[in-house]
Amino acid sequence: MLQLTPSHSLHQPLLSPQSLPFSLLQTCKTQREAEQHHAISLKTGTFSDPAIASRFLSLYADPKINNLDYARSVFDQIEEPTLVSWNVLIKCYVGNQRSHDAIVLFYELLHELVPDNFTVPCVIKGCARLNAIGEGKQIHGLVLKIGLGLDKFVQSSLVSLYSKCGEIGLARKVFDQMLDRDLVTWNSLIDGYARCGEVEVAMELFDQMQERDSFSWTVLVDGLSKCGKVEMAREIFDRMPHRNLVSWNAMINGYMKSGDFEMARQLFSRMPTRDIITWNSMIAGYEFNGQFMEALELFQEILEEDIMPSHATLVSALSAISGLAILSKGRWIHSFMVKHGFDLDGVLGTSLIEMYSKCGSIESALAVFRAIDRKKLGHWTAIIVGLGMHGMADQVLELFLEMRKNGMHPHGITFIGVLNACSHAGLVDLGRYYFNLMINDYEIEPTIEHYGCFVDILCRAGCLDEAKNVIESMPMKPNKVIWMSLLSGARNHGNVEVGDYAARHLIDVSPDSVGCYVLLSNMYAAADKWEKVSQVREIMRKRGVKKDPGCSSIEHRGVLHEFIVGDKSHPRTKDIYSKLTEMREKLKSVGHVPDTSQVLLCLQEEKEKEAELENHSERLAIAFGLINLEPGSPIRIIKNLRVCNDCHSVTKLLSSIYDREIIVRDNSRFHHFRNGSCSCKDFW
């Protein structure tokens, strides 16, 4: 640091312009030292010297200090910056993830100077980061005009640009023109082929390489894993002379994406070191494969090892909680996020809204949504979809209108939430309006999910001919969900002709769908077509179609209790069945008559059918909830199948008899039972 002595006069320059940058600026290591010398140069008038100003620019742009704002301020004060100064600032912009500003600055440079072989690779790197292939091609054209087309650094950057942006043909063309190819260029091209799924070509190039580094091996492992060729990826992985952390993570990702989470766990257990990416890969992989409990157990391990979870970790954990509907764990993670200052303005806020919605606490989802100051489209969409699942159509449409007034443009998923709300609330006219609004005003091409929602709206309202016409005019092949909606609508509205039509197509698309045969049989039985009922039963027998067992789960004190139909494995089975007997007596006393129309075909006697209904999994879960949960607290249940007609009627009555709110999430939507009524319009 500069020391003033009594002989110095503040009215005289302390150092000459020539001596300042070399005697003092070379020794600067911190921003404070640079600022001190900067202040002295302004006081003494030496800053006006272009060489000194350029040196300050380099200091502020240096990675050790890396103050982009100061660097830009200095640059703007240089009257005629040299090409070196332009290059320094462009590099600083790219290094600070502000590639767009780097490209803008580059275009300003073109009005003043001709770029060199330092400028061009740097700005091309910025284009690659932004996936700005159009701008990259323009710069490539400029490169050829100014005679840098054969410069190896420029060529290498172009290979990297085209590889990362998916223009592998152009990358190969530049690569083939190169006389001097370094290891980085080979790796870039191999990475490009791997990204495009052309792993055979990537392997050919790999075999041609005279020199390889860990990146060369890792790129191949990652590319093969992402393309689903996990066995080939493992072969390369096992051949690696030195496995780095990235290669371990790539292999784990590959196994998880192929569904082999057991092999992923084996690798995870063998790893010498792990980073947060490793943990995230495992947790996200378990969640992706429906192993929600395993995902949450690993999340707990992270916390026990004092590893701070990242945003990605929390998103995966919240998604796993959504799958299990363990509300208490979701609330705990929410508290953890608040305690550690995680920002909810981004994807975490969206995940939190989705978690509360799927766990049956739509009030908490709304509270999170309202608390987010800078709401993005993802937040609006999440709450609209959540409210739609819960059948709260009025709130959905109010929020949708509010969102549009705030200048937000809905995307396709937003409209799925709106259409779902219209479907579950029976709003057929509004459903038509919003379906057409999406196409005409927002120019969103309907996906099969949009068509599925619209067909469901029409079928619930009994507009079966219109629904049939929509299906026949779809630009894509209808899926199981769409045909099931039409069959269900035909059954509910007693249209055997449309039901036959839907069933034929449904069996073609999904011959093992037991719901198809049950609905078809019920429709025939309701129409007294008993020969048809027998035919359906025979088809089921020949094809070996069996009904998936119903499974319902309920959380109590952080533990998930699961029940299947007729389950007697629970430690409190005696108490549960005693409560079931009490429930049956109370239901009889209020005049409930069991609806056996949807019971399995193999049961002939009416008493057998009634007994089977009484042991449905959600009733066991309700009994458990009545025994264990505090009086007045909601009973939240998640079921893997759709709630049958009789269980829906029974749950409505039980909510009134026991004065309890009962929330059931089936494989279609949420049902909120309060005071003998339900939020849905699913049952007639």
Q: At residue 144, does pLDDT exceed 80?
A: yes
User: What average pLDDT does the segment 164-179 reach?
Assistant: 95
Q: Are 171 and 189 in contact (CB under 8 A)?
A: yes
**H or E element, residue 562:** strand 559-564
User: What average pLDDT does the segment 653-665 reach?
Assistant: 95
369 Cβ neighbours under 8 A, 6+ residues apart: 349, 353, 375, 379, 382, 383
User: What average pLDDT does the segment 39-51 reach?
Assistant: 76
pLDDT of residue 607: 53
* pTM: predicted TM-score of the whole model, two decimal places: 0.79
pLDDT tens string 528-570: 888 888 888 888 888 877 777 789 999 998 899 999 988 899 9
pLDDT tens string 422-438: 998 889 999 999 999 99
pLDDT tens string 66-89: 888 888 988 998 889 999 999 999
Q: At residue 90, does pLDDT exceed 70?
A: yes
pLDDT of residue 12: 39
- Collapse the DSSP code of 72 into the 3-class scheme (helix H, G, I; strand E, B; otherwise coil) and give the result: helix
pLDDT of residue 419: 96
Q: Give the ranges where 62-109 is alpha helix by DSSP (H).
A: 68-77, 83-95, 99-109
> Hey, how many other C-beta atoms are within 10 angstroms of the C-beta on 429?
10
546 Cβ neighbours under 8 A, 6+ residues apart: 514
- Residue 62: pLDDT band (50, 70, 90) is confident
Q: Give percent above pLDDT 70 in the chain.
A: 92
User: What average pLDDT does the segment 53-57 reach?
Assistant: 82
User: What average pLDDT does the segment 650-668 reach?
Assistant: 93
pLDDT of residue 27: 62
User: What average pLDDT does the segment 33-50 reach?
Assistant: 75
Distances (CA, A) of 317 to 287, 308, 321, 325, 329: 8, 13, 6, 12, 10
pLDDT tens string 345-379: 889 999 999 999 999 999 999 999 999 999 999 99
Beta strands 559-564 and 662-665 are: unpaired
Please choose, from the candidates 507, 493, 510, the residue with its C-alpha nearest in 3D space to the C-alpha of residue 535.
507
- Residue 13: pLDDT band (50, 70, 90) is very low
- Residue 22: pLDDT band (50, 70, 90) is very low
> Hey, how many other C-beta atoms are within 10 angstroms of the C-beta on 514?
15
pLDDT tens string 183-219: 999 999 999 998 888 988 999 999 999 899 988 999 8
Q: Are 416 and 385 in contact (CB under 8 A)?
A: yes
Q: At residue 479, does pLDDT exceed 70?
A: yes
pLDDT of residue 227: 81
Q: Are 632 and 655 in contact (CB under 8 A)?
A: no
CA–CA separation, 561 and 624 (whole Å): 9
Biggest CA-to-CA distance, the chain:
117
Q: At residue 600, does pLDDT exceed 80?
A: no
Q: Are 464 and 458 in contact (CB under 8 A)?
A: yes
- Residue 35: pLDDT band (50, 70, 90) is confident
3-state secondary structure 159-190: HHHHHHCCCHHHHHHHHHHCCCCCHHHHHHHH
Q: Are 372 and 349 in contact (CB under 8 A)?
A: yes
pLDDT of residue 2: 35
CA–CA separation, 41 and 52 (whole Å): 8
Distances (CA, A) of 325 to 355, 484, 593, 637: 8, 26, 32, 8
- Residue 596: pLDDT band (50, 70, 90) is low
pLDDT of residue 312: 95
Q: At residue 664, does pLDDT exceed 80?
A: yes
Beta strands 677-678 and 551-556 are: unpaired
pLDDT tens string 258-304: 999 999 999 999 999 999 999 999 999 999 999 999 999 999 999 99
CA–CA separation, 638 and 668 (whole Å): 11
Distances (CA, A) of 233 to 200, 203, 253, 259, 622: 12, 11, 11, 15, 48
pLDDT of residue 65: 84
pLDDT of residue 14: 40
Distances (CA, A) of 545 to 511, 548, 572: 9, 9, 33
Q: At residue 680, does pLDDT exceed 80?
A: no
pLDDT of residue 602: 47
User: What average pLDDT does the segment 244-257 reach?
Assistant: 93
Structure letter (DSSP) for residue 637: E
CA–CA separation, 580 and 624 (whole Å): 9
Quick one: how far is CA 195 from the chain centroid? Answer: 20
**H or E element, residue 206:** helix 199-208
- Residue 610: pLDDT band (50, 70, 90) is low
pLDDT of residue 291: 96
Q: Are 657 and 629 in contact (CB under 8 A)?
A: no
pLDDT mean across residues, the chain: 88
The DSSP-derived string for 99-159 is HHHHHHHHHHHTTT----TTHHHHHHHHHHHHT-HHHHHHHHHHHHHTT-TT-HHHHHHHH
User: What average pLDDT does the segment 654-681 reach?
Assistant: 89
Please choose, from the candidates 254, 250, 252, 207, the residue with its C-alpha nearest in 3D space to the C-alpha of residue 229.
254
Q: At residue 416, does pLDDT exceed 50?
A: yes
pLDDT of residue 9: 35
pLDDT of residue 6: 36
Q: At residue 11, does pLDDT exceed 50?
A: no
